[in-house]
Each structure stands twice: as structure tokens, then as C-alpha cells.
Chains A and B, each alone.
Chain A
């Protein structure tokens, strides 16, 4: 049943958000600390557990994968409701702080990515996939 998958996902989401709120108030951060990350970890464990006991049929997976595939459209909707006007009105101080902070962070990212045991690159996306399929 597709709803089982969606229900598992929703349960992980709610538990994660709740634990994130608890963690936030425990350390006095006045914000949700890692709620989404905790939810993701819960879902990864739920998947490992259910697959081990063969309790994850294709339909149940479908109830989770559908929402994962909706992710990019949701991001487009998110972009469409940013306060772009205020961001542009912030003036040079905002633009310069943001640009310099991002540029410095990029240098650190490039350094750290090349340090230690480097990750294994993902295989290239299949080229014969039509462009609209890649967008989803």
C-alpha cells in the first residue's frame, strides 16, 4: 500500500522535528536544531530495518519516492516566494558581506573536498536521458 510508505515518511518527519525542537530547547538555541537531519537519519534506519525483514514492497517504496521526486518542484515554488525585493534593497553592505562570505566558504569547500580520503564520484548521469526527464 502506497499510504504505508507515506505514513512511515510522515512519522519519521514528525519525530525528527520533535526531537530537533527538544534538542534546541535543551541547549538553549531558541531554534530547531537538526530536526530535518534527525528525520532523515530515522528514515534511513527505518529503510534498513524494513528491508532486512522484507517488509518494504515496491508500492510502499513508491509512497516515499513520490515525495522525494516532488522535491525540485517544491524548491521552485520556494524560490518564487523569497523576499527578493528586500534582498536587493539591502544595499552594498548586504551584497558585499554575502559575496565575500560565500567566496571564502567556496575556497574552504574546494580545499576540504580535495583533502584526506576523497569521495568517489557518482557515475555520470546517463546521457541518453532526455532533458525533461532529468528535470522531473
Chain B
């Protein structure tokens, strides 16, 4: 009986994922109302529960894709994968006010540039202070501090070892998780209550996943504006990391 039931769930992974996420959302809404009196948004709690499940899945299976590595929950991998994520983000653009988006265009570009250089410099300096003195290591870890995709792409291009790449991925993932978790609590400090600041946030805070989850937990109407800019973040990082930034580090430290 139970075996038949779990087989039905495992064979219909995506549909199972809809039920699982529905239940998580429902529990989060109750927790938000009862435990925090609505002060912490339900979606912020839901994302935390998701990260908790990812940790559990990683410990249980020893693999890379969190809860999605447990076969019963493999549909979570499809539902939360890049295709569905990007498809639904594009759909949110349907609510964008074109005039608002245009007004913030230039400041968004400036934010992107600063958002690539500042994390890179921080990552490279921290790497240096931990004893990584060669240009390849400093560049790879610095690129990881930009996003967890820029890190390995840059590292592969300049010939970094695999443990350096893992370290740079870890840096990027931790940053994305921090962005998701911390942002709702400091939204007022960031001035995050209008489309313009959401676009600045998208340029500076990095990855589409971090930015969009953070904005979803702050005010879901800001998601499309932040995502619109953040989507250029990884591309710009992959462009600058192995080229101009690597050459700059090399010129300074060897």
C-alpha cells in the first residue's frame, strides 16, 4: 500500500513538487501569522524552510542538489530548475511599468558595474589575507564573491584547481543565501520600496536567484525590476572575471 503510494509520487515528480511546495507555503503562512504576527513575510519563511530541506537532502544523500536528490522529491529539481525559474521571472515582467524601468536604466548599469568590481575586490583581498598569494587563486575566489556561476567560469578559464573552484562556488552560494535571508530585515535601510531602488539592488546584490528570492520576501511587486537588472550580472561577471579583472590582479601581485 505505502509502496504503491510512494511509487505514484516518485513517478509523477513535478506534480508531487506542486503539492510539496503548496504545503510548505501553507505552513509558512500559518507560521508568519501565528508566530511573527505577520511581521516576517510568509514567503521569507518558505524560502528558509526550503534551504533547511536542501541541507537535510544534502546530508542524507551526500550529493549536490539538496532535497531533489531524494528520488521521491526529484520533481523539486525540475520545478526549481533554471527553466521554470527563468520562465516565471519573465512572466513577472508583465506587471512592469515601462516608464519606471526606463527611468532607472542608467543607474542600473552603474549598479551592475559596482556590483561586479566591489565583491571581486573583497573576495580577492580576503583570499590574500588567508594566504592565497597567487593571481589565479585570488581571481577565482574574488569571482566567486560576484556570483557562484562567475566563480567556476572564471576559474576554468584561467586554469584554477578544483578545490579553488569549490571554494569559489561556496563563496557565491553563501552570498546568494545571505541576500535571500537578510534583505527583508534591512529593506528599510536599503530604501527598498520603489522600482528604482529595486533595480539598483538587482545590479549590486548579484545572482538572479538571490535577488529575486530577496525581493519576493520583501515585496513581490519589486521582483521584475530587480530581476531585469540582475540577469545581466552573471554575464557581465563572466565577461570581466577572466579578462580585465584577472589581468589587473596579475599586474598588481606578480
Give A residues with C-beta under 8 Å from B. Answer: 9-10, 12-13, 16-17, 20, 23-24, 27-37, 39-41, 43-44, 47-48, 61, 64-68, 70-102, 104-106, 108-110, 112-114, 116-122, 125, 131-132, 134-136
Contact = CB atoms under 8 A, between A and B. Distances in A.
B80 A135 contact: no
Q: Is the interface on chain B under 10, 10 to 19, 20 to 34, or 35 or more residues?
A: 35 or more
Interface of A (DSSP majority class): helix
Interface string B197-231: 10011001110110011001001111110011101
A17 B177 CA distance: 25
B77 to A, nearest CB: 6
A37 B130 contact: no
Interface stretch (B4-12, B26-34, B244-252): B26-34
A75 B219 contact: no
B76 interface: yes
Given A67-B87, A79-B213, A84 B186 contact: no
A86 B166 contact: yes
B91 A97 contact: no
A105 B122 CA distance: 10
A86 B173 CA distance: 9
Contacts of A82: 51, 54, 66, 173, 176-177
A76 B25 contact: yes
A34 B24 CA distance: 31
Contact of A71 (B32, B88, B204): B88
Given A70-B88, A86-B173, A134-B42, A102 B205 contact: yes
